[in-house]
Chain A
Amino acid sequence: MAFYETIFITRQELGDKEIDKTIKSFKDILKKNNANLVDTESWGLRNLAYKIEKNKKGHYVVLKIDGNGPAIHELERNMRIDENIIRYLSLKTDSINTKPSILAKKAQEA
């Protein structure tokens, strides 16, 4: 198994409940593909550096995953289908760091 970090940006209009629901659905998708959602992190509502699909702001969510390539591929396929997700980025990481990152800390302060 390898560790991954998938960061996605949702549209501004989405509420916390809807975001939780999408995270849960992704968790199920991962489970079906023998992958585990270890941790999630929220960077809150942030201004985008440039407009994406006419959006100026977006909610940032990080998924920390212990899984495999096909699971990530399936996850990304579902993210492309979901119209509320405007951008995603998956990265392979050496380890999973459960400590909040700089941006998560900033979101908590605000």
Chain B
Amino acid sequence: MRKNKNKSEDNDSSASKPFFRRKKTCPFSGPEAIEINFRDTGTLNKFISERGKIIPARISAVSAPKQRKLAQAIKRARILALMPYLS
């Protein structure tokens, strides 16, 4: 049993090495944070899908408090026809 477990762990590390992917961090947190503003459609456009839907935080790695701010900003931009509701 134990042998098997070790083996599988070894396999995992060797398998994950070539596919190592750095964990994405929230673009709105930290020292180089971008400010969320509903006027800044260039930035907001990165967080909507091709259909115009807001991308979930689990994919974009935006932190939960910032995702709430981001969603609010996108919705304001939509009201003012700066961004589409659907496209």
Residues in chain A within 8 A of chain B (CB atoms): 7, 9, 46, 48-50, 52, 58, 60, 87, 89, 91, 101-103
Contacts and interface: CB of A to CB of B under 8 A. Distances in A.
Given A102-B37, A103-B39, A9 B81 contact: yes
Contact of B76 (A48, A60, A91, A102): A91
B74 to A, nearest CB: 11
B45 to A, nearest CB: 11
A87 B39 contact: no
Nearest to A56: B81
Contacts of B87: 49
Q: Is the interface of B mostly helix, strand, loop or mixed?
A: loop
A60 B80 CA distance: 9
B76 A87 contact: no
A41 B24 CA distance: 37
Nearest to B42: A102
Contacts of B40: 102
Q: List the 4 shortest-distance A-B pairs measured between CB atoms, nearest first.
A: A48-B81, A49-B84, A49-B81, A103-B39
A89 B80 CA distance: 7
A49 B84 CA distance: 5
Contacts of B84: 49-50
B64 interface: no
Interface string B41-59: 0000000000000000000
